[in-house]
Amino acid sequence: MAFFRDLVPEAPNVVTKPMFGHIAAFVNGTMFMGVFGSRVLVRLVATDREELLAEDGAGPFEPMAGRPMREYVLLPADWLDDPDRAKPWVQRSLAYAAALPPKKGKAAAKALSAVAEKKPAAAKTPKRPKRR
């Protein structure tokens, strides 16, 4: 999407890679903006989210209906014709994500995920007495 590529800031710590079947931009390993369908999303602090959501056409980002990613907001679709309206929001998003602790890499993420997914051991069922 040309609109997205025009918005991605040129910085040494910003990279783009696939996400959600589209493309996203990351700073220090943290996603700060992306494409979903025909829309662009940005990650913002609470006060900025509220301000952007007040814009006509902006909305919460829900990759699955009823399951929003709480820090992300979809830019208004009519801004596709006016990237200058989106650029300040991208800069806010980049600043917020850049201030977050950097990601440690895939190995650390997988380890944390494995720990989080561990379920408590199931209770053992008592043995039935043998029939005589």
Specify the pLDDT at position 81: 87
β-strand 22-27 against 30-36: which pairing, if any? antiparallel
- Max CA pair span of the chain: 85
Domains of the chain in start order, with CATH, are: 2-105 (3.90.1150.30)
| pTM for the model | 0.75
Specify the pLDDT at position 23: 95
Q: What is the pLDDT along the chain (132 residues), one digit of tens a residue?
A: 789 999 999 998 999 999 878 999 999 999 999 999 999 999 999 999 999 999 999 999 988 888 888 999 999 999 998 899 999 999 999 999 999 998 776 644 543 444 345 444 444 455 666 676
Specify the pLDDT at position 125: 52
Query: Contacts for 51-54 with beta carbons within 8 Å, 24 or more apart?
Result: 52/89
Q: Any idea how long the chain is?
A: 132
What is d(CA 89, CA 32) in angstroms, rounded to the nearest whole number? Answer: 11
